[in-house]
Amino acid sequence: MGTAHSEQNVAFAKFSVRLAIRITFVSNSQPFLTGKSILVTGGTGSFGKAFIQHVLRHHSPSRVVVYSRDELKQYEFRNELNDPEALRWFIGDVRDPGRLKRAMQGIEVVVHAAALKQVDTAEYNPFECIATNVLGAENVINAAIDSGVQRLIALSTDKASSPINLYGASKLCSDKLFVAGNHYSGSKGTKFSVVRYGNVMGSRGSVIPLFKKLATTGEIPITDPRMTRFWITLPQAVDFVVSSFDQMRGGEIFVPKIPSTRILDIAEAAAPGVSTRSIGIRPGEKLHEEMVSEDDARRTYEISDRFVITPVIQEWGQTDWSTVGSRCSDGFAYRSNTNDWWLSIDEIRTLVASFT
């Protein structure tokens, strides 16, 4: 048992090195976040927790405000971290503009990670989805400007590109609000940008734990065997956001270059040899995901580690991304089924083992 575990660790270490070589998100030598006062909405979610732990370890923040709705999750996270002195704990909802403004007093940097994220839940509870993802975004923008925040990055999703479900549409609307926030900030100077990426391996709601659990039943339900998805690990998602703070000028949507996977390969990696059964696509679900649409490609630039979607209208100061990257060609689109980088079953299995 010990030998098998050791071999698994060696395999994962080797794969992690290969993945790190291909996914290297470039940051400045003096990262923007170091020494800053930071607020994270959705601070007790999978990303929020990982980001906060990263910042505490690597950036010596003067203060980190954990802003979230769930008292129990805050209690558990506080105990997990042994409550470092730099942390502040705010129970609050992004639907509450007054509470947001209070929490952002003296804050220099905001990561907006709070959202309702389940596709089927949003379809059945559309008003709640809009209240959090759209009206909540407006509240965050206003509070950031009024409080003199320097930079804000909002987390988005591949489902916001050419959306067909309410969740994706609400996040597209949110993205546009944050980009437009650069118009509204005026003399306050607050800069807003967006990060858009795919499914996060190892996060809450990931399909991998579900597949492993269902494997004990002898059969795994698959929505559609043709389905493909983008994948990124949680540490990579954190690194990408950190590097985006260094590169942002305001109004960009940053899209990482990440691998694709086939749903059948994920099932085989999580539960080898277990049979699958097609059950049909769920309400609002896509066969393939997209992070840069053909229409967006006309104002998108490709650099070494990412695509940068520039604003439709930019009147707060022109940033010429052509000096560091090349404009994407007409007709280009960044989709999970036409991606040029795919994870093999063995590579997926190695990643799956690291989260168990």
Active site (catalytic) residues: 159
The model's pTM:
0.90
In b/e form, how buried is each residue of 60-89, taking b as 16+ CB within 10 angstroms?
A: ebeebbbbbbeeebbeebeeeeeeeebbeb
Average pLDDT over residues 220-239: 93
- The model's pLDDT over 205-225, given as tens digits with 9 standing for 90+, comes to 678 778 888 888 888 999 999
Rounded Cα–Cα distance for residues 337 and 130 (Å): 29
- The model's pLDDT over 18-70, given as tens digits with 9 standing for 90+, comes to 455 456 666 655 689 999 999 999 999 999 999 999 999 999 999 999 999 99
Per-domain residue ranges of the chain: 2-199+233-257+290-338
- The model's pLDDT over 159-213, given as tens digits with 9 standing for 90+, comes to 999 999 999 999 999 999 999 999 999 888 999 999 999 888 866 667 877 888 8
Provide the CATH topology of domain 2-199+233-257+290-338: Rossmann fold (3.40.50)
Band the pLDDT of 148: cuts 50, 70, 90. very high
In b/e form, how buried is each residue of 205-214, taking b as 16+ CB within 10 angstroms?
A: ebbbbebbeb
